[in-house]
Amino acid sequence: MKNQRVLILMEIAIFAALGYVLDMIGFGMPQGGSVTFVLVPVILMAFRRGIVAGLATGFLIGVLQVVTGRFYAAPLSFEIVIAQVAIDYFIAFMVAGFAGFLRPAFLQAFEQKDKVKMITAVVLGALIAAFLRYLAHVTSGILFFGEFAGDQNVILYSLIYNSTYMIPVFLIAAFICSILFVKAPRLALPNSH
């Protein structure tokens, strides 16, 4: 049991490090946000070990970004920036771990050898991950980046701006995870040999 916990913690650390590196591959937006592969390791971990492991992986990715200075802070006071960074990095990446809600559906589809249901579970898991991350960024945009909206409605501006990178992030994550899980389903089955 202790060895199993150590193994899970090691996997979380490895997937978080991979997510941090994958977040460097892509292109960034002018006021923050970027199209990258960062959700892939979070989704993989959420499907492999469950929601808690996915949440921990996402949270660690946010921590790595902040402690290494790879974050975009709003031009506001220090106290407000702390809240903005918490939402945009710790919370936004952490909530992607809720993709693990679809883990049981994936495992059931795998047992039935139903690739369509496997892909459906993975795509819905990626949608949950991307949508919850999107909501965190939209909230941050409304609360902390209103000046970029100019005379536009700040809520609508944040919804549109954050969708410009989160829709591609979702599509990339759904595509890559679907291929990985259908071609190598053992990624989601840690106890198989």
pLDDT digits (tens, 9 = 90+) for 97-108: 999 999 999 999
Q: pLDDT-derived band of residue 25, with 50, 70 and 90 as boundaries?
A: confident
Is pLDDT of 193 > 60?
Answer: no
- Domain positions in the chain are 2-188
Place of tokens 């959420």: 46
The residues, ordered by sequence, that sit 6+ positions from 96 with a Cβ below 8 Å of its Cβ are 39, 42, 43, 46, 54, 58, 129, 130, 132, 133
Check residue 31 and give its pLDDT.
63
Phi then psi for 69, rounded to 5 degrees? Answer: 80, 15
Least trusted range by pLDDT, from 27-31, 37-41, 105-109, 112-116: 27-31
Q: pLDDT-derived band of residue 28, with 50, 70 and 90 as boundaries?
A: confident
pTM of the prediction?
0.92
The stretch 114-123 carries a mean pLDDT of: 96
Tally the C-alpha atoms within 13 A of residue 17's C-alpha that lie toward its C-beta: 6
CATH topology for the 2-188 domain: Arp2/3 complex 21 kDa subunit ARPC3 (1.10.1760)
Helix (H, G, I), strand (E, B) or coil at 172: helix
Check residue 58 and give its pLDDT.
98
The residues, ordered by sequence, that sit 6+ positions from 89 with a Cβ below 8 Å of its Cβ are 62, 63, 65, 66, 71
Check residue 88 and give its pLDDT.
94
Q: Cα angle vertex 42, ends 37, 46, to 5°? A: 145
Is pLDDT of 32 > 70?
Answer: no
Q: What are the residues facing 35 on neighbouring strands?
A: 27
Q: pLDDT tens across 126-171, in order?
A: 999 999 999 999 999 999 988 888 899 999 999 999 999 999 999 9
Cα–Cα distance measured from residue 189 to residue 193, given in angstroms and rounded to the nearest whole number: 9
